[in-house]
Structure 1
Amino acid sequence: MSAPRLADRDPRIEADELVNSLVPPPRFDDVRFDTYVPNPDEPSQAAAVTACAAFAKRVGGDSGGGWLGSLFGRKSVPEGKLGLYLDGGFGVGKTHLLASIWHAVPGPKAYGTFVELTNLAGVLGFGEAVRRLSEHRLLAIDEFELDDPGDTTLVSRMIKELTGAGVFVAATSNTLPDKLGEGRFAAQDFLREIQAMSARFDVVRVDGPDYRHRGLPDAPEPMTDDELAASAAATPGSTLDDFDALCARLARIHPSRYGRLVDGVAAVHLRGVRPASDQSVALRLVALGDRLYDRDVPVAVSGRPLSELFTDEMLRGGYRKKYLRAVSRLVALSRRQSG
């Protein structure tokens, strides 16, 4: 009997569940500030731990003032910037630090990826999404990016509303806040919105090499189709998909549901992997790779290696950092399955 296919799954998530599911992914359940190991050659990493811990203390320490007032229907807004923005390359532990902030802060609090946040606004409506999130002490946003003008306007408004209501916001990104959208759309047309949003954050830089690849080999060689099918059959809970068919299926599922798509999967097997055919396909593969990495799901492939998933032209374009992060994460997952 052949392994089931991801392409046959139909993940669903209701509106209330969207809000309740805004927590760190399973991979980051147990991370804390003291489990982050700074690279001794990169002093910015130790400094980032200190800055994040101080931010978490500030968020948690507000309970004696403004949050007491919320019991009587009014929450005062703390002074100073309410945002912390972790900027740096991929694989330096920014998500570890973001999740550590979330774990260190008392609730109510929410944690989601940028795409989950924009989808929440789409499902609930902007006003209702802001109303619900305004009840939180902290909103943590992972993979913060602006890929189109609509997102720029929406997120700028949302952060203005939330920080105005006294909600602290922590975010991670591979791009400085005043450079968001650069190289992807006419960012200069939205400069005022971008600058207004970035002014709400203190920026903390996290430098260093990608920890996932320190001293490790390149991507494993792809399996043959027969080897791939045998691996899927030998691993309970695995899925086996033709790469092109899965790409077509992803186009019909909102990226916010990709996590639900791979929940409970022990290993993903992709037959006939080749470079993404266009930018839309590539960005959906980035989102899928992120959700696989969040859940620590091993990946095995036939066809081309995962390091060749994106073309040279894509790697030179505006989404370069996203694609490099995806390669980093997927190659790490493919080593797990091959090992």
Structure 2
Amino acid sequence: MNGESVPVASHMATAATVTLPSRLWQHSLAAAKIERDPVQEQTLPLLDQVVSLLMRPVHRTVWRGVAVWRGLLESQPTMRGVYLHGDVGRGKSYLMQLVFDAVPIQEKRRVHFHPFMEELHQRLHQAEPPANVDLMLFIASQLAAEARLLCFDEFYITTIADGVLLGRLLESLFLCGVTVCATSNWAPDELFQGGYNRGSVLPFIALIKKRILICELTQGKDWRRQAAVRSGCTLLDPAPLFARLSQSSARPSTLLLRQTSVPVLGCAEGIFWFDFVALCSSMLGRADYIFLCKQAKALIISGLPRLTCDDADTAMRFVVLVDLLYEQRIPLRVYSAIPLEEVCHSGEIAFAWRRAVSRVHELCRTGAIPLE
């Protein structure tokens, strides 16, 4: 290894000085913030292991022309994180947050898959690596400087391009000494299952299984659904709620989302009321919904129809939007004459739809958002 080594005192902590995830979980249990879940409890030793590995002394050094993290006392650990997967509402995001909270370092980030992919594409476009330095390794080094711990919420692959890109990035992050934690509704072997030319992403899946601890949260209670007020998600007339939140009557107009004009049923004071078809059936993408989330204080969506297998793209847009709203805790109300679980219950998108519905139920929970 060549280059200057710069010890970083803030990374000299040991597990003995850290409140491990298992202790944080026990504290929440004792304070009645959570209920005992035996499956969650079984994952805690793995989470403690990840945090303990992160607390080993490290320093910054130069390798292959980029700055990386390296251990002061020993070689790099083989395992570089944890991958939590299981059904919707099983507490995966909560468990990952325990890891995030337990690590007493500044260089850590928790990101949602959609905005992170947008960020990655921007970095690829703007990067100017030195001669003879690999582009992805250069970007991974930039990310490593910002975060020794990188937590992905709701990790999945929707396109082969994303799969190949993430595979290259993950390998480079490991080389730069980054620990990766992720939550997903899919086991690694289920990622992009049935996708076109899936063989191209199999090396990525193999890398996950080789370098990250895999932890399945088996069937149990959907904790989001347990706490939800379902009636708040299936009412028929959103006009009174819009009027109360915005202090004005709803007036149809159009909203420009980047380069696309979208009909809006009401828009005032950061409160947006959309028809489902207008918002999710038009040719909008992740970047458009990110743009919307930056403007919105609260969203109301009405008029959900029953979807079929032919409406997979429409359903997926709703899933993407809900993920973004949930990540940023933007208040949401969904109004439908059909129970949300029945809007889309078949086809390849059904599983992702169930996850989105679980998140909608949580956002409809009493006290969770200021819409009541």
Normalised by the size of structure 1, how large is the TM-score? Answer: 0.76
Distance of 2:186 and 2:319 partners within structure 1 = 16
Q: Aligned letter for 2:184?
A: S
Question: Which residue does the alignment assign to 1:198?
Answer: 209
Task: Map residues 80-91 of structure 1 onto 2, 5 A cutoff.
Answer: 80-91=78-89
Q: 2:59 aligns with which of 67, 72, 88?
A: 67
Note closer, same or farther for the CA distance 1:256–1:138 as it changes in structure 2 (3 Å cut). farther
Note closer, same or farther for the CA distance 1:212–1:221 as it changes in structure 2 (3 Å cut). closer
8 Å Cα contact 2:228/2:365 also seen in 1: no
Question: Which residue does the alignment assign to 1:9?
Answer: none
8 Å Cα contact 2:167/2:203 also seen in 1: no
Question: Which residue does the alignment assign to 1:184?
Answer: 195
Larger Rg: 2
1:76 is paired with a residue whose SS is strand
Distance of 1:193 and 1:288 partners within structure 2 = 26
Question: Which residue does the alignment assign to 2:40?
Answer: 45
Note closer, same or farther for the CA distance 1:183–1:216 as it changes in structure 2 (3 Å cut). same
Shift of residue 171, structure 1, vs aligned partner: 0.7
Question: Which residue does the alignment assign to 1:117?
Answer: 116
Q: 2:28 aligns with which of 28, 35, 47?
A: 35
Q: Aligned letter for 2:320?
A: A
Moved more, 322-331 or 162-171: 322-331
Give CA deviations for 1:9-28 in whole Å, capped at 9, x if unaligned.
xxxxxxxxxxxxxxxxxxxx
Q: 2:335 aligns with which of 294, 301, 314?
A: 301
Question: Which residue does the alignment assign to 2:131?
Answer: none
2:42 is paired with a residue whose SS is helix
Note closer, same or farther for the CA distance 1:122–1:271 as it changes in structure 2 (3 Å cut). same
1:86 is paired with a residue whose SS is strand
Question: Which residue does the alignment assign to 1:149?
Answer: 160
1:199 is paired with a residue whose SS is helix
Q: Percent identity?
A: 25
8 Å Cα contact 1:88/1:175 also seen in 2: yes
8 Å Cα contact 2:228/2:361 also seen in 1: no
Shift of residue 329, structure 1, vs aligned partner: 1.4
1:107 is paired with a residue whose SS is coil
Note closer, same or farther for the CA distance 1:321–1:161 as it changes in structure 2 (3 Å cut). same
Q: 1:292 aligns with which of 325, 346, 370?
A: 325
8 Å Cα contact 1:86/1:94 also seen in 2: yes
Shift of residue 169, structure 1, vs aligned partner: 0.6
Shift of residue 266, structure 1, vs aligned partner: 4.7
Q: Does residue 1:57 correspond to 2:52, yes or no?
A: yes
Note closer, same or farther for the CA distance 1:90–1:140 as it changes in structure 2 (3 Å cut). same
Structure with the higher strand share, 1 or 2 = 2
Q: Does residue 1:270 correspond to 2:301, yes or no?
A: yes
Task: Map residues 156-171 of structure 1 onto 2, 5 A cutoff.
Answer: 156-171=167-182
Question: Which residue does the alignment assign to 1:104?
Answer: 102
Q: 2:225 aligns with which of 210, 213, 216?
A: 213
Note closer, same or farther for the CA distance 1:104–1:217 as it changes in structure 2 (3 Å cut). closer
Shift of residue 148, structure 1, vs aligned partner: 1.9
2:235 is paired with a residue whose SS is coil
Q: 1:137 aligns with which of 125, 137, 148?
A: 148
- What stretches of structure 1 of length at least 5 have no aligned partner? 1-31
Shift of residue 114, structure 1, vs aligned partner: 2.1
